[in-house]
Amino acid sequence: MSEVFLFNSPPRSGNVFFTFLFTMFIDGQANKCLDIKKYSDKSQKQAVFFRNPYDSIPSAVVKARIDWDNDFDDLSELKNNIEGCAKEYLEAIKEAKANQPNLYLGKSEDIMANPISTIKDIALFFGLKAHDHPVTNQQINEEIKSRMNKMQKTRVDRYGKIITESLMSSHDGHMPREKTKTRIYLDSLVKELDLDIIKECYNEYMSIESTNAMKGQRWAS
C-alpha cells in the first residue's frame, strides 16, 4: 500500500491547493497526480475533485498556450485545444465514477468553499487523523495563498528558456484570482462554440455524487 496520498484530479481542478491543505491538517505526504489509470488501484489512497468544465477547460487551454508561447489568434487551433481538454476531462470523470469505491470523489468548488470540513471528511473516509486548528475557512485559504505566493517554481518554455514564477502567477495561479483578458476571452469562446462534448462534460460534472464519510461512507480498500 502506498503511504503517499494522491490528489489525482484533471488539470486546473485544484490539486496543488489540495496538497497544501492536506499537509496543514494531516500528517504524511500528499502529491498531485494526473493519472486516471490509478483510479482502479484499490491500494492507493486518493481523492479526485472535478471543477466546473466551463472554468477548468478554458483555464487549461490558457495555461498550456502561454507555457508554450502560443498566441490566441487561430480559432481552429483554439477549438482543437478546447476539444482535446474536454475529451480528457470526460474520460477522467467517467473513469472516476466507475471506480468511486476506491476514491474520495467530489467537486472542486465544494472543497474550496469548505476546506476544513472537507479535509476532515477525507480523513474520516480513509481512517486518517486530522488535527484541529482554531481557524476559519477564510483564514485557511488566505494562509495557503500566502504560502503559494512565496513559493517559486520553474518551467521550460518552447525555446528551452528556464522561467521562474510563483505558484500564484497570473496564468498559472492555483487559487481563485482576477481573470486576465485572455482568460475572459477563452471563457466566452467556450460558451460561444457550444460544443456537445462540453455539454456532456458539464452534465457528468453536475451528476457527481460526492463522497460523504459523515454519512457512513468508507474507503473500500
CB–CB of 61/12 below 8 Å?
no
The secondary structure of the chain as a DSSP string is: --SSEEE---TTSSHHHHHHHHHHHBSS-EEE---GGGGG-TT--EEEEE--HHHHHHHHHHHHHHHTT--S--HHHHHHHHHHHHHHHHHHHHHHHHTGGGSEEEEHHHHHHSHHHHHHHHHHHHT--B---S--HHHHHHHHHHHHHH-EEEEE-TTS-EEEEETT-TTT-SS--PPPHHHHHHHHHHHHHT-HHHHHHHHHHHT-----GGGT-----
* Beta-ladder partners of 162: 156
Mean pLDDT of 184-207: 97
The answer to whether residues 163 and 75 touch, using CB atoms and an 8 Å cutoff, is: no
Q: How far from the centroid of its chain's Cα atoms is residue 215's Cα?
A: 24
Q: What is the pLDDT of residue 1?
A: 44
154 pLDDT band, cuts 50/70/90, is confident
- Asked if residue 45 lies in contact with residue 2, where contact means CB atoms within 8 angstroms, the answer is yes
Contacts of 31 by beta carbon, 8 Å cutoff, 6+ apart: 4, 5, 6, 7, 19
Average pLDDT, the chain: 92
The CATH class for the domain spanning 5-214 reads alpha beta
How sure is the predictor about 174, in pLDDT bands with cuts at 50, 70 and 90? low
Would you kindly state where each structural domain of the chain is located, as residue ranges? 5-214
Higher pLDDT, 7 or 162: 7
Residue 121 clears pLDDT 70, i.e. is over it = yes
Give me the pLDDT at residue 104, please.
Answer: 98
